[in-house]
């Protein structure tokens, strides 16, 4: 039986860079904090926590830690901004409070921040296509110098009316579905608005989704490895399910209860952008040895 691993499975460039940054900083012996989990993968976060990395979950917590003066309290130290980035205000709060900031925002996300900052500064209206709850989108919104709106669905695009006489700049969440983005852009253009589109969808995501679809279409079973809260892993699961009924979503090898028909010839494996190689290899080895 053949096992096929999707070529782009696992850590993307930006996530790998951010995780490597945390490990490098641990070596310095300083107290290390990350603003939010560095990746949407509980296994990785647990491993880092065990090595003394603290996760700050909110601005209130950031404020409280910054002002903490009581003996025994954790003092402010080095803070790492994850690949998703943060709003400008959060970064400024860190600066004001004297944190040593290490910015591991993915350069592709940084590019969006710079674009919206510039365009909104020139008076343009900004429209972000993506999920309003996603930290990356919230970060992008937070770098605008003027009015900004977020929309996520085709229906919202159909109803959308930008302020009159304003030029509109449209950007996308890096992990947004490419075809859906194109559809939304078409709708906006048809309305005759003065729109300029910056396609900010990351190629890593697009490639991973396409390759996953290709493998899943021929597989007897598909294993998707990813964090519970990872939206890109959930998307991979959805893609696989459409073409392969026998699809498993797992966080770690312990979750896998693989059942294969005797006639099975191909098992495909894919993984979200926050899944470390070690986990992928474990799953691969398990299938190889047991089936
Ligand atoms: Fe960056 Fe693309 Fe990953 S934007 S964080 S390389 S999915």
Query: Would you state the pLDDT for residue 140?
Result: 98
The angle that helices 42-50 and 13-27 make with each other, rounded to 10 degrees, is 10
Ligand 1 first shell, C-beta below 6 A:
12-15, 83, 106, 108-109, 174-175, 202, 204-205, 273
Residue 68: pLDDT band with limits 50, 70, 90: low
User: Could you tell me the distance, in angstroms and rounded to a whole number, from the CA of residue 71 to the centre of ligand 1?
Assistant: 40
Burial class (CB in 10 A: 0-12, 13-18, 19+), 127: buried
Instruction: Kindly report, residue by residue over 183-219, the tens digit of the pLDDT.
Output: 999 999 998 778 999 999 999 988 999 999 999 999 9
Residue 40 reports pLDDT greater than 90:
no
Residue nearest to atom 2 of ligand 1 (CA): 202
User: Could you tell me the distance, in angstroms and rounded to a whole number, from the CA of residue 288 to the centre of ligand 1?
Assistant: 30
Measured distance CA(208)–CA(275) in Å, rounded = 13
Instruction: Kindly report, residue by residue over 124-137, the tens digit of the pLDDT.
Output: 999 999 999 999 99
User: Could you tell me the distance, in angstroms and rounded to a whole number, from the CA of residue 249 to the centre of ligand 1?
Assistant: 22
Q: What is the mean pLDDT of residues 30-49?
A: 91
Residue 229: pLDDT band with limits 50, 70, 90: confident
Residue 97: pLDDT band with limits 50, 70, 90: confident
Instruction: Kindly report, residue by residue over 156-193, the tens digit of the pLDDT.
Output: 999 998 888 889 999 999 988 888 999 999 999 998 77
Pick the more confident residue, 285 or 178: 285
Active-site residue numbers? 136
Strands 2-5 and 168-172: unpaired
**Rg (the chain; Cα; Å):** 21
Q: Each residue of 161-186: b (16+ CB within 10 Å) or e?
A: ebeeeeebbbbbbbbbbbebbeebbe
Query: Would you state the pLDDT for residue 75?
Result: 56
Ligand 1 atom nearest the C-alpha of 13 is 6
- Positive or negative, the Cα torsion across 57, 18, 48, 176? positive
User: Could you tell me the distance, in angstroms and rounded to a whole number, from the CA of residue 73 to the centre of ligand 1?
Assistant: 35
Nearest to 231 by CA among 44, 84, 19, 59: 84
Residue nearest to atom 5 of ligand 1 (CA): 14
Ligand 1: residue of 10, 39, 83 to mutate (most ligand atoms within 8 A of CB) is: 83
Q: Are 212 and 270 in contact (CB under 8 A)?
A: yes
Residue 240 reports pLDDT greater than 80:
yes
Q: What is the mean pLDDT of residues 207-236?
A: 94
Residue nearest to atom 1 of ligand 1 (CA): 14
* pLDDT above 90 as % of the chain: 80
């Amino acid at each position: 039986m053949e096992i096929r691993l999707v070529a782009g499975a696992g850590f993307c460039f930006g996530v790998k860079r951010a995780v490597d940054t945390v490990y490098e900083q641990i070596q310095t012996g300083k107290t290390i904090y990350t603003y939010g989990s560095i990746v949407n993968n509980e296994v990785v976060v647990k491993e880092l926590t065990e090595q003394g990395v603290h996760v700050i979950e909110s601005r209130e917590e950031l404020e409280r830690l910054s002002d903490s003066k009581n003996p025994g309290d954790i003092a402010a130290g080095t803070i790492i901004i994850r690949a998703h980035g943060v709003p400008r205000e959060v970064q400024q709060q860190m600066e004001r409070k004297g944190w040593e900031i290490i910015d591991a925002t993915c350069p592709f996300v940084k590019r969006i921040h710079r674009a919206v900052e510039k365009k909104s500064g020139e008076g343009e209206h900004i429209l972000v296509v993506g999920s309003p709850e996603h930290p990356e989108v919230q970060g992008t919104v937070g770098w605008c110098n003027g009015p900004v709106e977020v929309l996520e669905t085709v229906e919202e695009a159909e109803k959308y009316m930008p302020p009159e006489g304003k030029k509109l700049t449209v950007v996308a969440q890096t992990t947004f579905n490419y075809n859906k983005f194109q559809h939304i852009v078409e709708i906006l253009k048809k309305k005759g608005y003065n729109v300029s589109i910056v396609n900010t969808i990351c190629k890593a995501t697009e490639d991973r989704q396409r390759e996953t679809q290709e493998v899943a279409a021929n597989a007897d079973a598909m294993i998707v490895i990813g964090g519970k809260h990872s939206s890109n892993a959930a998307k991979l699961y959805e893609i696989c399910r459409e073409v392969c009924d026998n699809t498993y979503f797992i966080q770690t090898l312990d979750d896998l209860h693989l059942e294969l028909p005797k006639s099975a010839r191909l098992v495909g494996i894919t993984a979200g952008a926050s899944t470390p190689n070690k986990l992928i290899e474990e799953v691969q080895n398990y299938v190889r040895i047991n089936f």
